[in-house]
Amino acid sequence: MTSGRLIGALLATCLVVTPILAQSKSVPRDQLAVDVVTLKAGRSLRGAVLYRSPKGDLSVAVSRAWLKQANPSDYEEKASADAQSQREAWTQTRDRLTSLLETAPDQSRLAFLYRSELDRLEELLAKDEPPETLFLVLDLPAASVGKVTLATPERRRLALLAWQEEIPDVETRDANSLKQILVKEGVPLEGPLPDLSGRLPAQPQSEREWAARLALVEYALGRPLDFQGMGSTIVQTGADQPVDLATVLPRLLQEQVGSVLDDLLGNAKPAGKPVDDRELLKPAIAAAEKAGARGFRVTRLQLNAETSQVRVETRFVARLGADDWQPVWAAVEQADGRQARPDQETQIEADPQLQTALKSIQSLGLGVEDGLRQAIRVGAATMAAQQAADGRFFELRERYTRRLDGPRLPVAE
């Protein structure tokens, strides 16, 4: 799982008088709503795993209230280190923004954001003590980690909602009791995950992480650069433009007809050659360099005519250094083209740009109506998958451009 998906899934995120340690023993880990990280030293941490590096290093968000109660001496040490780390992060970001403002156009949206953020950071640095955040972030080297027990997405949702509502003892209650409390207080359990990234402390950012954040900021407030494609071909498109179904539907029907003929004739379909990711991105990188862009978004569609499955992958690629372009976030959405989606199907049939394509398919003669109906359903599935992928990207864009000192955007060093 990518970082941008992990963060996006954990953070997008009755009083009990029983002592916390007694509660901890009474609730099995597989019934908790939080992640549990057992350290080799023996003790454990409860919260939300934000990121796990390929080497096994962890970043874990733990609530101040839980750590203060579970281990007061450790809390004092971590809280002191956090205050110093936040001040370092604010100073670092302030200096970077000051440098950026020397070249940013005065009336641009970017300059407005940079000046606003600079003012906010100056105010924070002027305070004697930083405001306390709900969470502390603990960075754990792989060598110190013994076992990691992740909560299921359903249970994790309950924890995020409970933290958002400031329900006490989230870390030690079982998921069912949290659910009962949330229902009793009228908190909706469905819908988007709460985004608790604003409750995380600021942390210093490496040059590569800062470069990735600037790429997202410039994409959001400057001129966004987007590419779309199928298979091994991608082309530049307008920002957030939907997949061109006028091209997709005839191609899909042709593949369906070809598949049927292959089955009738007993022809084995040769395996497709895997797409070389570096070669695929070359045209997009060249266009981004020519435009002076720090990053771009690329969306690829994969259709399986035999199973009517749709796969939409969207990625954000950023320049992290000279000639160093790397995907820093990715999401995949899949949809079943056999499922009826009346609203999207009606929209496809009524779209003037698609009517020509549909008429050309119908002109092929008798016997294509069933294939045409299935092609439209796959088109509707494509729309649904892309809308879901777009939604996840918009959440990412909002989360990492709201404030420039956080939350962390993990990038491989």
pLDDT at residue number 413: 73
Annotated domain spans of the chain:
3-204, 226-401
Dist. CA 37–CA 100, nearest whole Å: 39
pTM for the structure as a whole: 0.82
Tens of pLDDT, residue by residue, the chain (413 residues)? 444 444 444 444 322 222 333 334 578 999 999 999 999 998 899 999 999 988 999 999 999 999 999 999 999 999 999 999 999 999 999 999 999 999 888 778 999 999 999 999 999 999 998 899 999 999 999 999 999 999 999 999 999 999 999 999 999 999 999 999 999 999 999 988 899 999 999 999 999 999 999 999 999 998 899 998 887 788 888 766 666 655 555 555 555 444 433 433 344 444 445 556 778 899 999 999 999 999 999 999 888 877 889 999 999 999 999 889 999 999 999 999 889 999 988 887 787 766 666 666 566 554 556 666 777 888 889 889 999 999 999 999 999 999 999 899 988 77
pLDDT at residue number 24: 42
pLDDT at residue number 373: 75
pLDDT at residue number 316: 97
Is beta strand 226-230 parallel, antiparallel or unpaired with respect to 295-304?
parallel
pLDDT at residue number 304: 83
Phi/psi of residue 98, each to 5°? Answer: -60, -40
pLDDT at residue number 278: 77
Q: Which residue has the tokens 């509660």?
A: 23
pLDDT at residue number 17: 26
